[in-house]
Structure 1
Amino acid sequence: MFAHSLKILLVLSLPTIGVAASNPSPNEAGTIQLAMSDTITSKVVLVLQEGGDECRGIPNVYQFDCYRQMFRRAGSSVSKFPDYGEARKAFRHVEKTLKAVLKQYPDKATAPLRSNGRTYKPIQPDAVKSASAAFERARAEATTILLRANGPIRIHYERIASVVGSNKLIIRSQLLMQVLFKHLT
């Protein structure tokens, strides 16, 4: 009994390190980062939810840059965790798609928008429909990447995918409102 208690005491006194499914990565302090944790997944989900809320609150011509920056932040939040590599890849895909949209349809006549300490570039108003279609495709592909995951990371990726996919309905409803508004005026 004494030996068992001593083992427990020794284990508790040792520095704690997280175990990752792949190679763990050291952080700035040199300790090992825990991967596949509810904390990390919750952080990513929060970045996506709060970012989506912010993006929906600004005019639609700025939303594409807002979402681009949101997916960039989401990717950065998991960049130190090798187990979240596929999530990082999915976020990067959406970010690149939106970057291409901004490059293809810049609105140089409209000033950038500052909101919550960030600056968003507009696209041309007549490009919103085609830009939305490209965004939806990229988001659907990102959701597919996340949902194809196997193993222990799957449950974490499913949580993230539910948020990535949830913005689709909001974008569609905004487009529908624009179409209806155009027909009424």
Structure 2
Amino acid sequence: MTHLSALSLFLVAAGGLAFSSAEYPASGDRLFSGDGTPQLIGQSTGGQGQTGSGTGGLGGEPGGFDARGLPVGPAVAASIPVPVQITGVLNRSALVCASVPREYAIDCVIVHLKQAISVTPHTGDYAEVRKVLSDTVNRLEKIVADNRDDTKPLIRLQTGGAGGPATARMRAIRPDTVNRANADAARVLAEAQTVLLRSASAQTRAKLEYVRIAEAVGSNKVLLRS
């Protein structure tokens, strides 16, 4: 797992379930790894988790995101251009989701796509971006639903150290289908990147921003192919 500062992985032991892989030992309300590396922490919370609610968001719903993809309050978010927030979240997704167990990678990307969608307007220059990202989420959701491993626990990502905001819970893919499912998800993201690049050619004011967003989407397909 790659080194990520101020990032913790929280294990939500749904129904007492736990990772069966030797790399991710059974949960028991204890720290599995530390020393500055991502931390996997067992939780006995009956699948409810400690922070956050629903899917695809952060506990306490931030006002937006900064250029690094980290949550910020409404006042700060108001000063950050929409495309900067979108690319920040999607670039962070490519980094963070490469650190989670591979079977959780697709839902990790979904969570970050939903965060990007949450700051993308329904109308105006970036309406097409919102449409493409929403369609992408719907297609990825189907892949997860078709291949979900109900024997694995849900996990969350927490940023900013102890007490920081946590993402929505993430679902695992079955071991026997994870390679195919991740490959299918990578193709979906590649197609989204292509659509955004084509849309960029029709833009007059936001062409460069569309290209940057497309590149950020594309960076996520690489982690699913690895």
Length-normalised TM-score, structure 2: 0.57
The structure 2 residue matched to 1:74, chosen from 108, 116, 133, is 116
Query: Which of structures 1 and 2 has the bigger CA Rg?
Result: 1
RMSD: 2.2
Structure 1 regions of 5+ residues with no counterpart?
A: 1-27, 29-33, 175-185
2:150 partner letter = K
Structure with the bigger percentage of strand: 2
The aligned residue for residue 86 of structure 1 is 128
Query: How many angstroms apart in 2 are the aligned matches of 1:75 and 1:84?
Result: 10
**Partners of 1:45 and 1:160 within 8 A in 2:** yes
1:141 maps onto 2:174 in alignment: no
1:73-103 deviation digits (Å, cap 9, x = unpaired)? 1111113552111111111122111110111
Distance in 2 (CA, whole Å) between partners of 1:79 and 1:100 is 24
Residues 81 and 38 of structure 1, relative CA distance in 2, 3 Å threshold: farther
1:164: how far off?
Answer: 1.0
1:10-62, Cα deviation, whole Å (9 max, x unpaired): xxxxxxxxxxxxxxxxxx9xxxxx9xx98221111101111222211110111
- Check conservation: 1:94, 1:135, Cα contact below 8 A: no
- Taking the TM superposition and a 5 Å limit, the aligned residue runs for 1:104-143 are 104-116=146-158, 117-118=166-167, 119-143=169-193
CA–CA distance in 2 between the matches of 1:156 and 1:38? 14
SS at match of 2:121: coil
CA distance in 2, matches of 1:51, 1:100: 20
Question: Greater RCO between the two (CA within 8 Å, min separation 6)?
Answer: 2
CA separation in 1, counterparts of 2:219 and 2:105?
16
What's the secondary structure of 1:63's corresponding residue? helix
Matched residue of 1:89: which SS?
A: helix
Any idea what the Cα deviations from partners look like across 1:118-171, whole Å, max 9, x if unmatched?
221111012112212221221122111211121222111001111111223333
**How many residues align structurally?**
139
Return the letter of the residue paired with 1:62.
Y
Helix, strand or coil at the partner of 1:139: helix
Find the aligned partners of 1:53 and 1:169 in 2 and give their Cα distance.
10
Q: 1:113 to 1:38 in 2, by over 3 A?
A: closer
Which residue number corresponds to residue 55 of structure 1?
97
- Name whichever structure is richer in helix by fraction: 1
